[in-house]
Amino acid sequence: MSAKELGQIHITNQTVEVTPAMAGTVPYRVDLAAQLSDQLQTLCRQGNFYKLVGMDITVRPDATGPINGGAVTGYIRYYNPTRGRCAAFRHAFKSMAEQMKTQGISMRNNAGYDFRVALSSQVPVTSPALLNQATLDGSTGLALNHGSPGASVFGVYNTSVLPNLGNTPVAELFPEGFDTLLQSGAGKTDFVLNEGRLFTGNEMSADLTYSEIPFEIANLGLGAADMSFQWRPDPALYVAIMTGNMEIVIQECQISGGGGSVFLDFAFMVSGWKSIMGNPEKKKKSSRRKRA
């Protein structure tokens, strides 16, 4: 694949004000689907993965206070669209459609509706609200990874997906087999030491582990030029962001002089998106014309 095949690149922007007290707290939300919907004036749905081809971060001091320098360390976290995670999203979408149908509501008839969930339930008051967030009980918003089991898209789905190895006791993972003449006086052996699980044994489970893009950026202050951090994957590739949801996590913030704040200006570069709503288990039927 060449870089030209990535398509037109759309750039969305977001600014985050950071103080030392905010380090280690709950993250800031990034909603690529909403940002692109506003920018392109068309509904960009969450039932897609978004192709992130670059990210720029610029740090600048607070112009209303002391012009102090600052250093910020953190990371961007997100989910890749694995087979199990996409199946979990479709499962939650189907549940919502059935509940709405029971109350006489049709998703298809509302052109402005989209099934939208958060990345996690950790949302600070300073983060922009997730517009039109889906809820099944009228009060708790759904999230891909929610602290409440009943509101977690991945959590509810995983309870119905039985792992092959996850529920098997470690002592039973490797059988000892038949009694043979080759057995020593010490007894049987299962031919394995340090028994343990390398994986759950089910590729359809929705893994809860985030993917991360770390960053570290600083500004010298005292009229110094704004410094920037640039992240790019391979020029011909992209990182797939499931549902367009990301979160900015600040690990450390240091400001010279001990007070004030700094601003982080983010620019996210998206080359397109692709639906995750199709069922990969269904094979496309090829039509064959009868020969005369």
40-45 own/partner pairs: CB under 8 Å, 24+ apart? 40/10, 43/111, 43/112, 43/114, 44/244, 44/273, 45/114, 45/115, 45/275
Residue tagged 């913030």 (tokens):
253
Q: Is residue 182 assigned to a domain?
A: no
Q: Is residue 176 assigned to a domain?
A: no
| Residue 292: predicted pLDDT | 43
pLDDT at 28 over 50: yes
Distance (Å, whole) CA 47 – CA 277: 6
| Angle at alpha carbon of residue 196, lines to 194 and 198, rounded to 5° | 125
Q: What is the pLDDT of residues 49-103, one digit of tens each?
A: 999 999 999 988 766 555 667 889 999 999 999 999 999 999 999 999 999 999 9
| Residue 20: predicted pLDDT | 87
DSSP one-letter code for 133: B
Q: Is residue 287 assigned to a domain?
A: no
pLDDT at 286 over 60: no
Query: Please, what is the end-to-end C-alpha distance for the chain in angstroms?
Result: 42
- pTM across the whole model: 0.83
Instruction: Please compute the mean of the pLDDT values over residues 16-24 and round it to a whole number.
Output: 86
Beta bridge partners of 242: 49
Tokens of 204: 């359809």
Q: Which residue has the higher pLDDT, 291 or 187?
A: 187
Q: Is residue 183 assigned to a domain?
A: no
| Structural domain span for residue 39 | 7-164+198-275
Average pLDDT, the chain: 84
Total structural domains in the chain? 1
Distance (Å, whole) CA 201 – CA 166: 7
Range from 114-118, 153-157, 183-187, 226-230 carrying the lowest mean pLDDT:
183-187
| Residue 1: predicted pLDDT | 40
Q: Is residue 250 assigned to a domain?
A: yes
Distance (Å, whole) CA 150 – CA 162: 18
168 confidence band (pLDDT: 50, 70, 90): confident
| Residue 225: predicted pLDDT | 61
| Residue 88: predicted pLDDT | 95
186 confidence band (pLDDT: 50, 70, 90): low
Give Cα 215 to chain centroid, integer Å: 17
Range from 78-92, 136-150, 166-180, 243-257 carrying the lowest mean pLDDT:
166-180
Q: Is residue 100 assigned to a domain?
A: yes
Instruction: Please compute the mean of the pLDDT values over residues 204-223 and round it to a whole number.
Output: 86
Q: Is residue 170 assigned to a domain?
A: no
Q: Is residue 211 assigned to a domain?
A: yes
